[in-house]
Amino acid sequence: MKVIHNSRLKDFRDLALIRNNRGFKYGDGLFETISYVYGRPRLLHKHLERLRNGMSTLRLSEIPGLSKKSIDSQLQKLRIENKIESRGKSRIYVWREGPGLYCPNDCKTSTLVTLENDNGKDVSFSENAGFSKTVINFPSATSQFKTISALKYVIAGIEKSDRLLDEIIIKDSKGFVSETLSSNIFIRIEGRYLTPPLSTGCINGIMRSWLVESMKRHNFSISEKNFTESDLLKADSVFTSNSMGISHIGKIGKTLFTIDEQVNFLMKELMSVNP
């Protein structure tokens, strides 16, 4: 597989771990996952905006290779090199290079852009979900970004596998629903849509923000509002969202939920959005 490291095309096998790679040593970096559909990186401008905001928070140096024009060009090159068909998954990694312990000596930034085939769908279904018993979310300066350090999601992922769940839901320190293993979460209750606010420590999801904007355009009743496990179990439907699409949750324990066809309609609309 071909990748682009610091704007240079390379074979993935030729990448070497450098001694001063702070991404490896301290998790000092960020990443973005972008859906690549029919030759277009979906919502690329929103992903790059979040990435730049995260880099500013971490005080990583900006580089020309992360402009929309440059990333689009790099992805087109990788599409050809890696023989990407109708649907792909791209990742953009940025991390800090250079000496220093917890306090870095400089803010030099390295990048890696990847693109591989993906067999996912815009709309999917998770049969069985549950609430995490091991992981709690806390808001922080970096909680809204996708950081290279993702240990809490690793732990939640192990719990999900151990409990034979299709999805696992994470709460915050106050007991409010926050997000799922790799997605934001929405509920529909009495005709109203709710999604947790960023104050619960959830990721500021790109698909989440697009859905909220789209729902408002279509006059849906949508609020970013705290809700509890008890509230969620009273909902008519529950679905999650990430950059690759949405997934309806079928049940939690003995509580069953319906599929929300209105949200499926919004996803069809997304296919025509200018990236």
269's enclosing H/E stretch is helix 261-270
In this structure, the answer to whether residues 160 and 77 fall within a common structural domain is no
Residue 17 has pLDDT above 80, yes or no: no
Q: What is the average pLDDT across 184-207?
A: 97
Tokens (6 digits) for 159: 């719990």
Model confidence pLDDT, tens digit, residues 206-234: 999 999 999 999 999 999 999 999 999 99
pLDDT higher than threshold 80 for residue 70: yes
3-state DSSP assignment of residue 1: coil
241 and 161 assigned to the same domain? yes
Of 117, 139, 163, the domain-final residue: 117
Domain boundary among 64, 92, 117: 117
Residue 275 lies in a domain: no
Q: Are residues 236 and 133 in the same domain?
A: yes
CATH of the domain at 216: 3.20.10.10
Q: Looking at the domain assignment, is residue 67 inside a domain?
A: yes
pLDDT tens-digit series, residues 138-147: 999 999 999 9
180 with 210, same domain: the answer is yes
130 and 255 share one domain: yes
Domain limits at 166?
123-270
Does one domain contain both 215 and 248?
yes
- Per the domain annotation, does 255 fall within a domain? yes
Instruction: Say what the pTM is.
Output: 0.93
Domain count, the chain: 2
147 with 254, same domain: the answer is: yes
Residues 172 and 107 in one domain: no
